Structure 1
Amino acid sequence: MLESLDVEAILRRALSAAGDFAEIYYEDNSFTGIFGEESRVERVLSATDRGIGIRVISELSTAYGFTNDLTLDSLLRLAETVSRGARGGAFGGDINLSRLQSGGFPIAVAPDQVQLVEKIAMVNRADRAARAVDARVKQVQATYRDSQVKSQTVNSLGEFREDLTVSTVFLVQVVTQEGAVTQTGYEPVGAQRGFELFRDTTPEELAVKAASRGVMMLGARQSPAGQFPVVLSSEAGGTMVHEAIGHGLEADLVQAGTSVYKGKLGEKVASDLITVIDDATIPYARGSFAFDGEGTPAQKTVLVENGILKGYMYDRLSAMKDGCASTGNGRRESYRTRPIVRMTNTLIAPGKSDPAEIVKSVDQGLFVRRMGGGQVNTVTGDFVFEVSEGYLIENGVVGEPVRGATLAGNGPDVLRKITMVGNDLGFGIGTCGKDGQGVPVADAQPTLLITGITVGGKKQKS
Structure 2
Amino acid sequence: MNPEVAVKIFEAGKSAGADFVEIFEEETRSSSLGLKDRQIETATAGTEYGIGVRLLYGTEVLYGFTSDDSEEALVKLVKTLAFGRIAAAAGAEGSAARPFEFAPEKRICDYNFGAYQDPRVLGQAIKQDFLFRADKAARALSPKIAQVGASVTDSCTSISLLNSEGLHLEMTRGRLRVNVNVTATDGTERLTTHEAPGALGGYELLANYSPEALATECGERVLRMLDAGYITGGQMPVVMGNGFGGVIFHEACGHPLETESIRRNASPFCGKLGEAIGQPCLTAIDDGTMDGVWGSLKYDDEGTPTQRTTLIENGILKTYMSDRVGAMEVGVERTGSARRESYKYAPVSRMRNTFIAPGKDTLDSMIASVDNGLYAARMAGGSVNPATGEFNFAVDEGYVIRNGKICEPVRGATLIGKGHEIMPRISMVGTDFEQAAGVCGASSGHVPVTVGQPSIKVDQILVGGR
Q: Same fold (TM over 0.5)?
A: yes
- 1:182-193 superposed matches below 5 A: 182-193=190-201
Name the counterpart of 1:172. 180
Name the counterpart of 2:293. 285
Name the counterpart of 2:37. 38
Name the counterpart of 2:92. none
- 1:223-372 superposed matches below 5 A: 223-372=231-380
| Residues in 1 aligned to 2:225 and 2:329: alpha-carbon distance in whole angstroms | 49
Equivalent AA in structure 2 for residue 100 of structure 1: R
Q: Alignment partner for residue 95 of structure 1, among 81, 96, 100?
A: 100
Cα distance, 1:137 vs structure 2: 1.6
The alpha-carbon distance between structure 1 residues 324 and 218, as it changes in their structure 2 partners (threshold 3 A), is closer
Larger mean CA deviation between 395-404 and 4-13 belongs to 4-13
Matched, 1:418 2:447: no
CA contact (8 A) 2:11 2:97 kept: no
| Residues in 2 aligned to 1:6 and 1:354: alpha-carbon distance in whole angstroms | 59
The alpha-carbon distance between structure 1 residues 260 and 91, as it changes in their structure 2 partners (threshold 3 A), is farther
Gaps of 5+ in 2: 90-94
Equivalent AA in structure 1 for residue 7 of structure 2: E
Cα distance, 1:8 vs structure 2: 1.3
The alpha-carbon distance between structure 1 residues 294 and 129, as it changes in their structure 2 partners (threshold 3 A), is same
Deviation string 1:406-430 (CA, Å, 9 cap, x unpaired) is 1111112211011111122110111
The alpha-carbon distance between structure 1 residues 81 and 347, as it changes in their structure 2 partners (threshold 3 A), is same
SS at match of 1:6: helix
Larger mean CA deviation between 374-383 and 112-121 belongs to 112-121
| Residues in 2 aligned to 1:13 and 1:163: alpha-carbon distance in whole angstroms | 26
Equivalent AA in structure 2 for residue 40 of structure 1: Q
CA contact (8 A) 2:351 2:449 kept: yes
Larger mean CA deviation between 233-242 and 47-56 belongs to 233-242
Cα distance, 1:15 vs structure 2: 2.4
The alpha-carbon distance between structure 1 residues 436 and 59, as it changes in their structure 2 partners (threshold 3 A), is closer
Name the counterpart of 1:75. 74
Q: How many residues align?
A: 457
Deviation string 1:219-253 (CA, Å, 9 cap, x unpaired) is 11112211111111214441121012101101121
- 1:380-419 superposed matches below 5 A: 380-419=388-427
Equivalent AA in structure 2 for residue 282 of structure 1: M
Q: Alignment partner for residue 140 of structure 1, among 129, 134, 148?
A: 148
CA contact (8 A) 1:185 1:214 kept: yes
Cα distance, 1:105 vs structure 2: 4.7
Name the counterpart of 2:49. 50
- 1:203-242 superposed matches below 5 A: 203-242=211-250
Name the counterpart of 2:210. 202
TM-score scaled by length of structure 2: 0.93
| Residues in 2 aligned to 1:350 and 1:161: alpha-carbon distance in whole angstroms | 35
SS at match of 1:157: coil
Name the counterpart of 1:7. 6
SS at match of 2:440: strand
SS at match of 2:272: coil
Equivalent AA in structure 2 for residue 28 of structure 1: E
| Residues in 2 aligned to 1:235 and 1:59: alpha-carbon distance in whole angstroms | 40
| Residues in 2 aligned to 1:305 and 1:81: alpha-carbon distance in whole angstroms | 46
SS at match of 2:336: coil
| Residues in 1 aligned to 2:125 and 2:193: alpha-carbon distance in whole angstroms | 27
Equivalent AA in structure 2 for residue 440 of structure 1: P
Equivalent AA in structure 2 for residue 288 of structure 1: S
The alpha-carbon distance between structure 1 residues 124 and 14, as it changes in their structure 2 partners (threshold 3 A), is farther
CA contact (8 A) 2:225 2:397 kept: yes
SS at match of 2:12: helix
The alpha-carbon distance between structure 1 residues 255 and 86, as it changes in their structure 2 partners (threshold 3 A), is farther
Cα distance, 1:403 vs structure 2: 0.7
| Residues in 2 aligned to 1:85 and 1:113: alpha-carbon distance in whole angstroms | 48
Cα distance, 1:123 vs structure 2: 2.4
CA contact (8 A) 1:58 1:86 kept: no
The alpha-carbon distance between structure 1 residues 69 and 220, as it changes in their structure 2 partners (threshold 3 A), is same
Equivalent AA in structure 2 for residue 265 of structure 1: L
The alpha-carbon distance between structure 1 residues 86 and 396, as it changes in their structure 2 partners (threshold 3 A), is farther
| Residues in 2 aligned to 1:318 and 1:408: alpha-carbon distance in whole angstroms | 30
The alpha-carbon distance between structure 1 residues 100 and 395, as it changes in their structure 2 partners (threshold 3 A), is same
Cα distance, 1:145 vs structure 2: 0.6
| Residues in 1 aligned to 2:413 and 2:61: alpha-carbon distance in whole angstroms | 43
Larger mean CA deviation between 188-197 and 2-11 belongs to 2-11
Larger mean CA deviation between 334-343 and 115-124 belongs to 115-124
Matched, 1:19 2:27: no
SS at match of 2:205: helix
Equivalent AA in structure 2 for residue 12 of structure 1: E
Equivalent AA in structure 1 for residue 109 of structure 2: S
Cα distance, 1:452 vs structure 2: 1.0
| Residues in 1 aligned to 2:183 and 2:4: alpha-carbon distance in whole angstroms | 52
Cα distance, 1:107 vs structure 2: 4.0
CA contact (8 A) 2:243 2:451 kept: no
CA contact (8 A) 1:20 1:91 kept: no
| Residues in 2 aligned to 1:199 and 1:359: alpha-carbon distance in whole angstroms | 35
Gaps of 5+ in 1: none
Larger mean CA deviation between 247-256 and 125-134 belongs to 125-134
Q: Alignment partner for residue 122 of structure 2, among 101, 114, 127?
A: 114
| Residues in 1 aligned to 2:16 and 2:222: alpha-carbon distance in whole angstroms | 60
| Residues in 2 aligned to 1:4 and 1:124: alpha-carbon distance in whole angstroms | 48
The alpha-carbon distance between structure 1 residues 29 and 418, as it changes in their structure 2 partners (threshold 3 A), is same
Cα distance, 1:33 vs structure 2: 1.4
SS at match of 1:22: strand
Task: State the identity as a percent.
Answer: 38
